[in-house]
Amino acid sequence: MAGAFVNICGPVVADTAYSNGSLVARDVAITLPEVTPLTADLQAMGTFTLPIWQLLDNMEASLTKIGVDMGLRALIKPDMKPLEFRWVQTITDANGNTRNVGCKAFLRGIPNKIPGIGLEVGSASENEVTITVTRYNLFVDGQEMFLIDRLAGKCRIAGTEYGDVSSML
């Protein structure tokens, strides 16, 4: 469609991280999981690779926590836990108007390790916590983008369920 305008997503203005409902960090670097389906090679006029959305590779998130504090302690506790990441990003529309949009990611996961803690006089300690994720639900401006729940067999993307095969078993 010619002349259509897509809003321009701008920078992240601020973010916060929660573990078990408690604030553990703010203004930190967060990398949410990549969701990658397994693939199958099929023969049809040669070979082509087809994604299988009912089978997914491991999902991993990471958070770079500044400082050694009770927030870091809550993140590295080796229990399966709910995590929530909130951030605000700017959006510019076709008229040049800018507004802030709230985003949230709800995860359930367990830390992979206790990070090595680097200390240097005059510098803040940065500690990367990596988390194996079993559930990942993303919302932008109040709209669900997707829900991936490995243990429940759910893979809902843009409102369509791709992962539920239980009714066929």
Question: In the predicted model, what is the mean pLDDT of residues 112-134?
Answer: 93
pTM, two decimal places: 0.89
Question: In the predicted model, what is the mean pLDDT of residues 109-115?
Answer: 96
Residue ranges per domain, the chain?
Answer: 12-39+48-168
Between CA 153 and CA 119, with CA 29 as vertex, the angle to 5 degrees is 120
Q: Which CATH number fits domain 12-39+48-168: 3.30.420, 3.30.43, 2.40.30, 3.40.50?
A: 2.40.30
Indicate if the alpha-carbon torsion angle 101, 111, 80, 65 is positive or negative.
negative
Question: In the predicted model, what is the mean pLDDT of residues 55-70?
Answer: 94
Question: In the predicted model, what is the mean pLDDT of residues 33-50?
Answer: 94
Q: What is the pLDDT of residue 1?
A: 53
Stretch (H or E) spanning 129: strand 126-140
* CA–CA distance, 109 with 89 (Å, rounded to integer): 25
Q: What is the pLDDT of residue 2?
A: 60
- φ, ψ of residue 168 in degrees (nearest 5): -95, -5
